[in-house]
Structure 1
Amino acid sequence: MATETTDPVRLPPGPRIPKLVQGVAVLTARYGAVSALGRRYGKTFTLNLPVFGRTVVISDPVLVKDLFSTSRGLIGRPRNNLGGDVLGPGSIFNLDGDELLARRKLLLPPFHGKSMRNYERITEEEAMREIATWPEGREFETLEPMMRITLNTILRAVFGAEGPALDELRVLIPAAVTFGSKIALMPSAVRRDLGPWSPGAKFAQYRRRMDQAINSLIADARADPRFTERDDVLSMLLQARTEDGQPMSDGHIGDELLTMLVAGHETTSTQLAWTVERIRRHPELLSRLTEEVDAGGSELLQATIAESQRTRPVLTAALRRANTRIKLGEWVIPEGDTILASTQLAMAAADSFPDPEAFNPDRFVDNAPNPFAWIPFGGGMMRCIGAAFATMEMDVTLRTILREFRLEPTDEPDEKPHSRGVTVTPAKGGRAVVHRRKTGASDANTVSAAERSTS
C-alpha cells in the first residue's frame, strides 16, 4: 500500500502539450488517446488535465492494489467529483474516510441475499416487457431499450411500488442523466446554479423535480401498513441504523436513492449494448451462448459479460486524491494530486490478459481474474456498491434475450467508442437484428431467473 513520506516529489513522465489539449483528447477520444499514451509512456505516466489538475495514471496491478488498499486517511476522493454538485452532499459519491465506511455498511445489505433473488424476477419481467416491442428482421439500436430495462428494474427494486411519482422518475431520470453526463466532467463552477441560463440551473430544475418525486415515495413507504415487511431498498434504508442507533436523514436517503438511479442504470445498460455488439461479431460464441441458455447454464454467459467489460469498459478510470504526500511504488506524489487507476489500460495489458485484443470469454471460464487487473467496478473502499446487482441485471437480461430471440450475426466493422461524458457507449447504439425463436420461453429446457433463484 502507499505510505506517507517526506521524500522529494518524483512523478512519472508524461506529455508536455497544453492542459486543455490533453483534456480534450482524453475526454473525446477516450479509448484511442489513453491507448496511445500507454504505448508511448508505459503503465504509469503523468497528465495535466482540466478539472482534475496534475494526474498520475497507473495501470500496473501491483500499483492498483497498493492504491486500493491504502489507508483512507492518505487517499480520498478527487476534489472535483460529481457528488456535491450533481448528486448531493448525502450521496456516497461525496463521502470519504470513516463517513464513507459507515455509509457502505448501511447500503450493502439491500444488494445481497434474499433481496437479490427478488430483483432477478423484476429484471426478467422488465426485460420481457421491453423486448415484446422489438422489431424482427430490422436493425435497431439496443442502447435505449437496455436503458429502459435497467431503469425500470432499479426503480422497482429501489422503491418497490408503482404510481405517479415512479412514472415521473421514468421520464426525468433519462433526461437528467443525459444532461448531467455532459456537465459532470466540466469545472465545478459550470455545474453550479449561476442563473436561469446556466447549465447548473438547468440541472437544478431536474434535481428539484426528482427530489419532489423521491420525497413523495418516501412518504408513501412510511405510510404503508406493511412497511416493516417490505424488501425494497427504500424501506430498508428507512429502517437502517448506524452503529450508534441513528437513522439516515431523509435528505441523505434521497441523495443515495438518486445516486442509485442515476449511476446504476446508465452504466449497466451501456455494457449490455456493448455485449450485444460484441457477440454479434462472434457467431460461434453466439451459438454456444444460445445452447448454454437453452440448457439452463450460465458460466459462459457470465464469462462473456466479464470479457465485454474488459474489452469495452464503460467507465475508463477510478479516481483518487492524495490527501498528503505519498509514496506509491517508486513514485512520490504530492498532496492534492489526482491518481487515476486506468481500467482501460489495466484490462488491456498483455501480461495480465494474453492476446488482449481478442474477444475471448473462455479466458474467464473456470478462471477468476486478478481483482487488481480486472477492475470494471473500481476497488477498495470506493468499489461500486451495486456491482453484484449490475452483474445480475446483465446476466438475466441477456439470458432472456437469447432465450426469446435469435440474434443475427454480422460482419460489419466494430462499432467505435463514443464518449458520452462520463460513460463510453457504442457509436451506433449497439445495433442488432433479431428473430423471435419458435421455442422461446416455452422451451422445456429453459430455466427462468425466478425458477433458478428458488432452486
Structure 2
Amino acid sequence: MQQISITLGDLPRLSNRRLGELGALIRPAADRTSLRALGSRFVVSPPGFPTMLITHEIDDVREVFTNTEDFSVGQLLSRVANHDRVFGRETLVFLEGEEHRRERRLFAPPFQNKALRSYEDMMVEVARRELPNWPVGEPVEFVGIGYDLALGVLLEVLFADVPAQRRDRLTQAINQWVGALQSVGFLVASLLTPLLGGYTPPYPPLSRGAAAVDAVIIEEIAARRAAPGGDHTDMLSRYVGTELDQHDDASLARNLRGILLGGYETTAITLGWIAVMLAAHPEALAELDAAVDSGDTPRLDAYLDAVIAETVRLRPVSGFTGRRAARDTDLNGVRIPKGAIVIVPILAIQESLAHYPDPLAFRPERFLTDRPDSYTFLTFGAGPHRCLGAQFALLESRILLRTILQSRRIAPLPGPIEPPRRFHTGISPAHNARITLLPR
C-alpha cells in the first residue's frame, strides 16, 4: 500500500455554490462535464453531510470495493439512503465480513449457472404469455412492459407452483408495497434521510405493504415445509428443507422480498433502455433481425448479450456507488477519516476514453469478443458485495428479448435518443421508453 502523503484537504474541492453540478456527474455524458477540470479526485462537503471524496481513479475503485475491513457499503446506505427502512438491517446488503460471506453462501446457489439454466423455460413462458397483451403498430411504453415481464418472471422463478388464490394475494400485496415505494410520500421521506443523519421517517403505507407481502410468503413457506419434496426448480424450493435452510420463516420471507424488489424495477428500466437503444440504432436492429430470420440462435444470443452489456454501460440504472470509511484509513496515499464517504461515479468510468474507445457511441460489437472488466464496468458493483443477481439479470434480459424478437420487430425511431427522466434517483427513460412493436 502506498505511503500516506496527503489528506482530503490537500485535494481539489468543489465549492458548495457549485454542488448543483454534481448531478451531471451521474447522468449520461458524465465524462464531459465541467467537473473534469477538478481531476479524477476531488472533495465535496455539503452542509449536513459527511465529507465526500469523489474518485474515478481505478486503483481507488479497486481498493474501496475489495477492502471490506476499512470501507463499508452498509454504513453508506444507512447514512444516505432509505435501505434500512425498505429492507431491514438484517438483510445481506448491510452485513459485513464473515457474516456477509456466510449469508452470501446460503443465498448464492439459486443464482449460479446450473440453477440459472433451469429458469429459462419459465422466462420464455412468461414472455409468450404477455406478448398478446401489447399493442402492435402503435407506440407503447416499454418500461411498462418491462414491469409486467419482471414481476411475472420473479413470481415464477421465486415461487413457481403457488396456488392461484395465494398468487393473486401475493401479486396484490407486491403491487401495494411497490406503489408505496414509488409514492410521492415515501420520496419525501427518503429525501429527508441524509438530512436527518440517515434516519428515514416511518411511512405507514410502506410498512403495511411489506407486512402484507411477507405474510403471504410466510404462508407459502409453511406450505412447502408441510409438504416437502417434489421436482421443483424455483428458488424457494431450493431453500426449504435443504442444507441452505438456516433462517426462520420471517427472515427468509424478508430476504425473498428483497430479491423481488432488487429484480423488479431494475429489470423493467433496463429492458426499457435496451428497447430505446435498439430503436435508435438501425444497424444493431438489423443484426438482430438477421439472426432471428436465419434461425441462428447462438448468433442471436451472442449479439443480444453484447447489446445488453453495451446498454447497461451507457445507461446503468444507478449512476454512482460508493462506500463509507468504517475507521481511519488510507486510500492509495490519501488519508480518509472514519465516517467519510467515497463516491464512485460509475458513468465517469464507463464513458471514459481511457477505458472504452469512442465511449459515448452505442457499439455492442465491443463486447462480442471482450468481456467487461470488473473495475471499469460497474453497473452491478464489484468485489465481495457485487450484486448477487447480476448473472440472473443478464440472462433474464437475454431470454426475454430473444423471445420477444422471435415474434415482434422493433421499429426504428429516427431522432435523438430518449433522455433520462430529469427528476429520478436513478437513470430512467423520460417517456418510459416509447417505441413501436411491429409483427414479424
TM-score of the superposition, structure 1-length normalised? 0.85
1:443 maps to which residue?
none
Q: 1:113 to 1:276 in 2, by over 3 A?
A: same
2:72 matches 1:93: no
Gap change, CA 1:57 and 1:33, over 3 Å in 2:
farther
1:447 matched to which residue of 2?
none
CA–CA distance in 2 between the matches of 1:324 and 1:278? 43
Name whichever of 132-141 and 286-295 sits farther off. 286-295
| 1:61 corresponds to 2:58 | yes
CA change 1:145–1:192 in 2 (3 A) is same
CA contact (8 A) 2:29 2:351 kept: no
Task: Provide the secondary structure at the position in 2 that maps to 1:394.
Answer: helix
Higher mean C-alpha deviation, range 44-53 or range 366-375: 44-53
- Kindly report the root-mean-square deviation, in angstroms, between the aligned alpha carbons of the 2 structures: 2.6
1:325-348 residue CA offsets vs partner (Å, 9 max, x unmatched): 222123221111111222111101
SS of residue matched to 2:261: helix
Partner of 2:138: 138
Q: Name the counterpart of 2:129.
A: 129
State the shift of 1:361 in Å. Answer: 0.8
The separation in 2 between residues aligned to 1:232 and 1:421, in whole angstroms, is 33
Identity %: 27
Q: Cα distance 1:186–1:360, how it changes in 2: closer, same or farther (>3 A)?
A: farther
8 Å contact from structure 1 (residues 239, 247) kept in 2: no
1:208 maps onto 2:207 in alignment:
no
Contact 1:43 1:345 in 2 (8 A): no
Instruction: Give yes or no for contact 2:25–2:347 (8 Å, CA) kept in 1.
Output: no
Consecutive unaligned residues of structure 2, counting only runs of 5 or more, are none
The aligned counterpart of 2:438 is 435
Shift of 1:309: 0.5
Aligned in 2, Cα 1:156/1:420: closer, same or farther, shift over 3 Å?
farther
What TM-score does the superposition give when structure 2 sets the normalisation length? Answer: 0.88
Aligned counterpart, 2:82: 82
310-319 or 416-425, larger mean C-alpha shift? 416-425
Asked if 2 retains the 8 angstrom alpha-carbon contact of 1:317 and 1:343, the reply is: yes
Change over 3 Å in CA distance of 1:9–1:432 after alignment to 2: closer
SS at match of 1:105: helix
Once residues 229 and 283 of structure 2 are traced to their aligned partners in structure 1, the CA distance between those partners, rounded to angstroms, is 50
Contact 1:11 1:46 in 2 (8 A): no
Q: What is the match of residue 154 of structure 2?
A: 154
Contact 1:417 1:425 (8 Å CA) reproduced? yes
1:407-422 aligned within 5 A: 407-418=410-421, 421-422=424-425
Distance 1:102 1:400 in 2: 36
Please name the residue that 2:240 is paired with.
238
1:164 aligns with 2:165: yes
Q: 2:193 aligns with which of 175, 187, 191?
A: 187
Residue range with higher mean Cα deviation, 200-209 or 25-34: 25-34
Deviation (angstroms), 1:161: 2.2
Q: Which residue of 2 aligns with 1:220?
A: 223
- CA change 1:256–1:432 in 2 (3 A) is same
Residues 16, 262 of structure 1: CA spacing in aligned structure 2 closer, same or farther, 3 A cutoff?
A: same
After superposition, residues 229-378 of structure 1 pair within 5 angstroms as 229-239=231-241, 241=243, 247-293=246-292, 294-296=295-297, 297=299, 298-378=301-381
TM-aligned CA distance change 1:277 to 1:9, over 3 Å:
closer
CA displacement, residues 114-144 of structure 1 (integer Å, 9 cap, x when unaligned): 3212211111111111122111110110001
Match of 1:448 in 2: none
C-alpha separation between the residues in 1 aligned to 2:29 and 2:413? 28
Residue 39 (1) aligns with residue 36 (2)? yes
Q: 2: CA distance between counterparts of 1:92 and 1:29?
A: 28
Q: Structure 1 residue 11: deviation in Å?
A: 5.8
- 1:48-71 CA deviation, whole Å, 9 max, x = no partner? 35786322222232221122221x
Count how many residue pairs are aligned between Structure 1 and Structure 2. Answer: 422
Measure how far apart 1:184 and its partner are: 4.5
1:56 partner SS? strand
Alpha-carbon deviation of 1:374? 0.9
Range with bigger deviation, 32-41 or 115-124: 32-41
| Whole-angstrom CA distance in 1 between matches of 2:40 and 2:261 | 32
- Once the two structures are TM-superposed, the CA of residue 212 in structure 1 deviates from its matched residue by 1.3
- For residues 362 and 419 of structure 2, the distance between their equivalents in structure 1, rounded to whole angstroms, comes to 15
Q: For 2:48 and 2:370, how far apart are their aligned partners in 1?
A: 39
Corresponding residue number in structure 1 for 2:426? 423
On the 8 A contact 2:122/2:153 being kept in 1, the answer is yes
Secondary structure at 2:44 match in 1: strand
Distance 1:403 1:116, change over 3 A: same
